[in-house]
A and B are shown apart, each in its own frame.
Chain A
Amino acid sequence: MATPELDEITELRAAPLEPWQVVVWNDPVNLMSYVVRVFRTYFGYSSDHATSLMLAVHHEGRAIVATGPRETMEVHAQAMHDYGLWATVRKASE
């Protein structure tokens, strides 16, 4: 019988990590300065990067603000929801 540790390793090998994304959607309520601040302070993005993401949300209706493992993306989405931003999680391939 395999040890639990070995089981875990096998499972990781069987399912290679597929990237997921956090998408923030436009809404007419959140202030631009607020959205930039959230992207800057939460993700640690530069002012320029945070501003371009905000403008993408505003003009294109949405922006991908983070990419990585699903669990991490769910944590980020929760943080965005804490700030009142409308965030969804999806597979990068979708």
Chain B
Amino acid sequence: MNPAGISTSLVRLEGIRLAQLVGEFRELLATADEADEAINRLTPNPYPDDANAAREFADGTRTDLLDRRGADALTVHEALAEFRIVGDEISEEEALRVQDLVVAPQDVDAWLRTLNAIRLVIASRLEIDGEDDHDPDDPRYGVYDWLGYRLELLIQAAEDAETR
């Protein structure tokens, strides 16, 4: 892997949206709500046929898993600091300005896991259960698809950097 990390460019509006999503994701993790389907999707049960083993596994690992997710999300949150804006709307010119985003080699996995986890959360909210579940009229699918596109680009960039 290139010691300088991987670089990807995005327009400012994308960065701002991504920073918002990561912020919402961190809030969701903080709830650790066992009744929330999305949280449950992030903490799967490895023993669906053995309630005792499932409970033991969850007791021993669930909090740590959510903590690691939180640490991953914090890494991404900090990397997106310049995209967090408060108050005034930005001009169209500013919104469409292309910016480079550099991900350090040691942060690549945190980025991949976090973008993927946010997609899982959105999929859970949209109740996506099959390959063909898609509604072009629901704007949330736009966010879901865009995140998939961004994740794919990041994976490609990471693989390219490894073979350079």
Measured CB to CB, the residues of A under 8 A from B are 28-31, 33-34, 37, 41, 74, 77-78, 81-84, 86-90
With A84-B116, A86-B44, A88-B48: A28-B68 Cβ-Cβ less than 8 Å: no
User: In the complex, which residues of chain A have a beta carbon less than 8 angstroms from the beta carbon of B133?
Assistant: 28
- Are B131 and A37 within 8 A (Cβ)? no
Chain B contact surface mostly: helix
With A81-B44, A89-B47: A34-B116 Cβ-Cβ less than 8 Å: yes
Which of B113, B123, B131, B155 touches A83 (beta carbons < 8 Å)?
Answer: B113
Cα(A87)–Cα(B155), bound, Å: 21
User: Is B112 located at the chain interface by the 8 A CB criterion?
Assistant: yes
Which of B46, B47, B128, B156 touches A33 (beta carbons < 8 Å)?
Answer: B156
Measured CB to CB, the residues of B under 8 A from A are 42-49, 57, 61, 65, 68-69, 109, 112-113, 116-117, 119-120, 123, 128-131, 133, 148, 151-152, 155-156, 158-159
Which of B49, B68, B155, B159 touches A82 (beta carbons < 8 Å)?
Answer: B68
- Are B44 and A37 within 8 A (Cβ)? no
Cα(A80)–Cα(B42), bound, Å: 10
Chain A contact surface mostly: mixed
User: In the complex, which residues of chain B have a beta carbon less than 8 angstroms from the beta carbon of A28?
Assistant: 123, 128-131, 133
Which of A29, A34, A74 touches B112 (beta carbons < 8 Å)?
Answer: A34
- Are B129 and A83 within 8 A (Cβ)? no
- Are A31 and B151 within 8 A (Cβ)? yes
- Are A31 and B129 within 8 A (Cβ)? no
With A28-B133, A29-B123: A34-B65 Cβ-Cβ less than 8 Å: no
Cα(A88)–Cα(B57), bound, Å: 11
With A28-B133, A33-B156: A88-B47 Cβ-Cβ less than 8 Å: yes
Cα(A1)–Cα(B130), bound, Å: 60
